[in-house]
Amino acid sequence: MSDVDLPAHLAPPFSWPVRVYWEDTDAGGVVYHASYVRFLERGRTEWLRRYGIEQIRLRDEQNILFPIRNMQLAFRAPAVLDDELVVETWLTQCRSASLQFQQRILRAGDLLLEASVRAACVSADRFRPRQLPDDLFNATGPSGG
């Protein structure tokens, strides 16, 4: 498998709804910054699931995990208690041993957060880098992602 940079227009972003609960906020009812990381994780997990890729099965059957190697966040506006948010996720690069995602969190179309996330492909037993399996690349790569 070779590295592939994917054009932004390849597919529309995958959208996943998230509601803000008390557990996501600080004492003032504003979303605590670390809660956004959980929202983004849900978006990436459901993006994989859209392609029939279940992380439990990857771990148990193929010895694969996707730990986060790098994450950059740009906070634009706060979310608050009971907000209905949408996490948008799309794949921008597929390398031999990593996936690069762009993500946004929106409220009623207004941008609250932008994120760039690189997930490494590692062996579940040794946490060493490993190549993405071709079937995974084919599911999420140029024709699938």
What's the predicted TM-score (pTM) here? 0.88
Instruction: Calculate the CA 92 to chain-centre distance.
Output: 11
Active-site residue, 82 included: no
Higher confidence at residue 11 or residue 16? 16
- The 8-class DSSP code of residue 121 comes to -
Cα–Cα separations (whole angstroms), residue 77 to 4, 27, 71: 33, 18, 18
Tell me: pLDDT of 20 over 70: yes
* Domains of the chain, first to last: 4-140 (3.10.129.10)
Question: Among 3, 5, 24, 26, which one carries the catalytic annotation?
Answer: 26
pLDDT confidence of 56, banded at 50, 70, 90?
Answer: very high
Position 83 confidence tier, pLDDT thresholds 50, 70, 90: very high
Q: What is the pLDDT of residue 133?
A: 87
DSSP β-bridge partners for residue 88: 15, 104
